[in-house]
């Protein structure tokens, strides 16, 4: 699960700034989460955000490994 570090407003939209692991922070609009209005097919529920974090972490590890091999 992503940990919300803070909630803010950007461009008139409520956003959640979440801990993004080794990649830094991730900013997600409220309407893209299960905290927004009625869910639509394009919104990310909590489970989808967890899956997204797993993917981002895997890509970051792959990038770090490539940097060590090539650098």
Per-residue pLDDT of 27-52, as tens digits, reads 888 888 877 776 556 566 777 788 88
Contact present, 33 and 43 (Cβ < 8 Å):
yes
Whether the pLDDT of residue 9 is over 90: the answer is yes
Mean pLDDT, rounded, of the chain: 81
pLDDT band at 16 (very low <50, low <70, confident <90, very high): very high
Contact present, 2 and 49 (Cβ < 8 Å):
yes
What is the DSSP-derived secondary structure letter of residue 43?
A: S
> Can you tell me whether residue 12 is helix, strand or coil?
coil
Distance CA 27, CA 71 (A): 30
Mean pLDDT in residue range 12-16: 91
Distance CA 12, CA 40 (A): 21
Whether the pLDDT of residue 4 is over 60: the answer is yes
The closest alpha carbon to 44, from 10, 18, 65, belongs to: 18
């Amino acid at each position: 699960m992503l940990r919300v570090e803070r909630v803010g407003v950007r461009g008139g939209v409520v956003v959640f700034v979440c801990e993004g692991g080794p990649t830094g922070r991730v900013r997600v609009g409220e309407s893209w989460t299960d905290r927004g209005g009625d869910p639509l097919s394009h919104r990310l529920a909590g489970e989808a955000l967890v899956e997204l974090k797993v993917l981002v972490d895997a890509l970051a590890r792959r990038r770090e490994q490539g940097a060590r091999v090539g650098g």
